[in-house]
Amino acid sequence: MMLRRYSEHIVSTRDGPFPEIKYRETTPEVKRLELAAHSVSDPNIILTAPASKSSPPTPNMDSPVTTFTTLPINIALLTPIAYLIWDILFPRVGLAPGAPIPSSYEESYLWRPKTHMPAIVWAKYSPQTLEPFDGKRNPRILLAINRIVYDVSAGKSFYGPEGPYGNFAGRDASRGMAKQSFDLDMLTPVDARIDPLKDITKSEIDNMNGWSSHFENKYVVCGELVENDEL
């Protein structure tokens, strides 16, 4: 509250110890000043309301950015965190110039494969062109179910030459999968037409489709089986 002398003579208009109070401003603040004036003994002192000034904006302490930057420990941790993120996004091989790059995870966390993984190209196969992919004549192992060709090389212990399902390697395994049989008589000769599967039951078709779903989820779909005369 500001106290300021008023140059005009103040005249009391009523009996009693209190003079008439003159105010320069007629604002809502007047009521408060009028009550405060009764405690002023000097009749030449005029009470005026202070000029209103806009308060500076108060920072929002609830802001995540404000909270983070105002804590010293957060600022101290910011540099190592930024360094770790940079090192993950842009890893460096900590080797001397000319040193070989590690090729296995046992050697270094920053290892790199020696060569790019071989790409598997989608292709059409006939019974005759599929046969060589039996794990003996070719290291790749392929088999077909319902005219879809799968690369099962990753399951060599099952479908390779010594595996329990090795009869299906390089062949159309549709009938064997449908009948849950791995006998050789489930296989159609490679120089014949593709097995039409007309004599199998609905439950056997369901068996075959179940195997197809299993192979699609576990192995690589790499081609389509077509008739010999279509290639």
Q: Where are the domains of the chain?
A: 18-52, 123-230
Count of other CB atoms within 10 angstroms of residue 170: 26
- State both tokens at 124: 């059409």
This prediction has a pTM of 0.53
Length of the chain: 231
Per-residue pLDDT at 99: 73
Q: Which residue has the tokens 């108060």?
A: 58
SS3 45: strand
d(CA 1, CA 174) in angstroms, rounded, equals: 98
Per-residue pLDDT at 46: 52
Nearest of 212, 224, 220, 216 to residue 125 by alpha carbon:
224
Divide the 231 residues of the chain into consecutive groups of 10 and give the mean pLDDT of each group: 44 50 50 57 51 56 59 77 82 65 76 80 97 95 98 94 94 97 94 96 97 95 97 89
Strand ranges for the chain from DSSP E: 2-5, 45-48, 123-125, 142-145, 148-151, 220-225
- State both tokens at 86: 């940079």
Per-residue pLDDT at 6: 41
Nearest of 200, 204, 202, 127 to residue 168 by alpha carbon:
127
d(CA 176, CA 193) in angstroms, rounded, equals: 16
Task: Please state which architecture CATH assigns to domain 123-230.
Answer: Roll (3.10)
Per-residue pLDDT at 88: 77
> Identity (one letter) of the amino acid at 101?
I
Give the model confidence (pLDDT) of 54-99 as tens digits. Answer: 555 555 555 665 665 567 777 778 888 888 888 778 766 555 667 7
